[in-house]
Structures are given as C-alpha cells and as structure tokens.
Amino acid sequence: MCWELLKEASGAPPPKLPYSFLSVVEHLSLIYNHPMFSVYILECKDKTLYVGCTNDLKKRLNQHNNLKSGAHYTKIRRPVVLKYSEKLPTLLEARSREAEIKRWKRAEKLELINKNVIE
C-alpha cells in the first residue's frame, strides 16, 4: 500500500525486493528531492587517508583532485583516489559517522576499506 502511494506521488518505481531501510530512504529522498549524504575515505598520493562527508560525492571528489575548493590536506597530496563510501540519510548521521571514522587508527580504516572494496 505504501509503495503504491509513493509510486503515485513520484512516478518512480519502488526499489526491487528485498529492500533495506536505506533503499527506502534513498527512494524517498529522490521523491522529495532530499539529498543523501556520503561519508568517504580517500587515499592520497603519499598513501595517507582522508575522511570526509558530502551530499555530492562525484562533485566533491572532483574538487579534491582538480579545484582550489578541495580540502588543503588533499590539495597538496594529489591525486586522491576514492577507497570507501557509505550513504546516510541525514547530515547529522553523516557527520557523526565521519567523526567516528576519523577517531579510528589507520589499521581500522584500512580494514573497513578492505571489507568494502569499490570496483
């Protein structure tokens, strides 16, 4: 019933079953034009790791690699490569997750990256 109402409101089909809570939130965010937020880990040229969050990962990665608006840390360590990202429904959750990962040791960050390889 809920999906029929959402489909009617947006014209977009629901995510394929089985769907997770996150896929439901992503679907709703598309309907209401509300951005999802990404927490990401970059590997810099000097092999250091950078953790950040954004509502437009593609744009932010371009900023890190090509523009003056990239973070100073990555500007002097270009090129950077996206090693990990995860989506969260709110800025508060994304910033909390970013802060959590930033507190981790390098080995813990690498473990997270290795468990979730981006192809």
Answer positive or negative: Cα dihedral of 40, 46, 47, 48. negative
Mean pLDDT to the nearest integer, 4-17: 56
Q: Which two tokens stand for residue 17?
A: 């079953």
Q: Are 9 and 28 in contact (CB under 8 A)?
A: no
* Residues of the chain above pLDDT 70, percent: 70
Would you place residue 1 in the very low, low, confident or very high pLDDT band (cuts 50, 70, 90)? very low
More confident residue, 111 or 31: 111
Between 3 and 40, where is the model more confident?
40
Q: Which domains does the chain have, with CATH numbers?
A: 2-31 (no CATH), 37-115 (3.40.1440.10)
Half-sphere exposure of 77 (CA within 13 A, CB side): 15
pLDDT beyond 70 at 115: yes
The C-alpha R_g of the chain, in whole angstroms, comes to 17
Q: Tell me the pTM.
A: 0.72
The phi and psi torsions of 81 (rounded to 5 degrees) equal -125, 130
Could you give the angle at the alpha carbon of 17 between the alpha carbons of 12 and 21, nearest 5°? Answer: 80
Question: pLDDT tens digits, residue range 13-36?
Answer: 655 655 666 666 666 655 566 679
